[in-house]
Amino acid sequence: MAPTSSSLKLRQMLANPNKIIVCPGVYDGYTARMALAGGFDALYMTGAGTSMSRLGMADLGLATQTEMKEQAEMIANLDPSVPLIADADTGYGSAINVGRTVARYITAGVAGFHLEDQVTNKRCGHLAGKQLVSREEYYSRIRAAVNMRRQLGSEIVIIARTDALQSLGFDEALARLQGAVALGADVAFMEAIETREQVTKVCDAFKGTGIPVMYGMVQGTKSPRLTVQEAKDVGIKIIVYAALCLIPVYVSVSRALKRLKDEGDTEIYGAEISPHAVFDVCGMAELMEFDRQALQGHQV
């Protein structure tokens, strides 16, 4: 029997009324491997993290479609049984570009992605001064995504994201999401929510419609800090902790660098922390076993 595609798996999780899908934000093979080892049943590829890890550049719309797709493909295929939701930003151009982005994400093995209404030269959703495209242009992006999914017979989950809250207010942001789901988007994601009351209002607005709500929790922003249980209680179906790996990497690596610079010495970890341990997280045992079998003439 063919393995269930990751997008179907994500859809099954979405259909489970008792489940909240908890996604740590990962941005490279290393953080993805750590999240997989941690037992998460879905992952999120953060565009901000991808931009910083691949380009060394802040989240200001610099990562290209190809860079994003390549990173998503690598992460999605480390363990294809764990669905990956990947950031698709603005879709990287006009409707035909969005269509191509979706086609490439589908063949990359991405289970779901979000598409937003910022201008192509976008910025992180939690920064001030975001500029938006018109409702109609946003809807053309959503339509392009839905059409390409249909054309390719894919089940990929389309998450409509709006960044309209900051400059156009709650009602316009909600209307944009409602319009996007009417066009065929599967999930509603209001970006950069500022109060718990807004969280409740979005969830209430989609209650009973069959449209799940996604929430983006980024530590250190205005967005209310929700635990998984709090998110579940209010009716959120997918919670993404986009900066979950980014922040601790910054903190601990900076500390180790400072120690070397200031004291000429290294950080001390337990004896069990060695290159061997981190190679293990990255599949060393399976790779060596595969190698051994081939070298010993063992055919599977």
Ligand X SMILES: C[C@](O)(C(=O)O)[C@H](CC(=O)O)C(=O)O
Q: Which of 218, 226, 238, 244 binds ligand X (CB under 6 A)?
A: 218
Which letter, b or e, does each residue of 252-290 get, where b requires 16 or more Cβ atoms within 10 Å of its Cβ?
A: eeeeeeeeeeeeeeeeeeeeeeeeeeeeeebbeeeeeee
Token readout for 61 is 């719309």
Amino acid type, 228: V
Q: Binding residue for ligand X (CB under 6 A) from 10, 26, 47, 130?
A: 47
Window of 10-18, 40-48, 177-185, 255-263 that interacts with ligand X by CB under 6 A: 40-48
- Which of these ranges, 64-72, 99-107, 124-132, 178-186, lies near ligand X under the rule CB under 6 A? 124-132
Applying CB under 6 A, does 87 fall inside the site for ligand X?
Answer: yes
User: CB of 134: closest distance to ligand X in angstroms?
Assistant: 20
State the nearest-atom distance from the C-beta of 242 to ligand X, in Å: 3
Shortest distance (Å) from residue 86 CB to ligand X: 10
25 lies in the site for ligand X, by CB under 6 A: yes
Of 12-20, 41-49, 142-150, 287-295, the segment contacting ligand X by CB under 6 A is 41-49
Give residues with Cβ within 8 angstroms of 54, minimum separation 6: 28, 63, 67, 71
Interface stretch with ligand X, choices 35-43, 45-53, 132-140, 145-153 (CB under 6 A)? 45-53
Among 124, 145, 164, 205, binds ligand X (CB under 6 A): 124
- Residues 143-177 as b/e (b if ≥16 CB within 10 A, e otherwise) read bbbbbbbeeeebbbbbbbbbbbbbebebeebbbbb
Q: Does 216 participate in binding ligand X (rule CB under 6 A)?
A: yes
Contact status: 126 vs ligand X (CB under 6 A): yes
> Which of 25/91 has CB closer to ligand X?
25
Q: Indicate the burial class of 136 (C-beta count within 10 angstroms; 0-12, 13-18, 19 or more).
A: exposed
Reading the block at residue 48, the tokens are 């901000």
Instruction: Collect all residues with Cβ–Cβ distance below 8 Å to 157 and sequence separation of at least 6.
Output: 7, 10, 11, 14, 85, 111, 112, 113, 186, 187
Q: Which of 109, 79, 84 shows the shortest CA–CA distance to 283? A: 79
In the DSSP assignment, the letter for residue 129 is -
- Encoding tokens for residue 266? 């290294």
Of the pair 47, 99, the CB lying nearest ligand X is at 47
33 vs 126, beta carbon nearer ligand X: 126
Reading the block at residue 29, the tokens are 């093979």
**Binding span for ligand X by CB under 6 A among 42-50, 93-101, 255-263, 290-298:** 42-50
Residue 61 sits in the site that holds ligand X (CB under 6 A) = no
The tokens for 114 are 């979000």
Q: Does 125 bind ligand X (CB under 6 A)?
A: yes
- Angle, helices 95-108/65-76, rounded to nearest 10 degrees: 20
Cβ closest to ligand X, residue 112 vs residue 216:
216
Number of chain positions touching ligand X (CB under 6 A): 14
**Scanning residues 237 to 266, which ones bind ligand X (CB under 6 A)?**
242-243
* Nearer to ligand X among residue 83 and residue 216 (C-beta): 216
Nearest to 186 by CA among 26, 22, 10, 44: 10
* Interface residue list for ligand X (CB under 6 A): 25, 46-48, 59, 87, 124-126, 191, 216, 218, 242-243
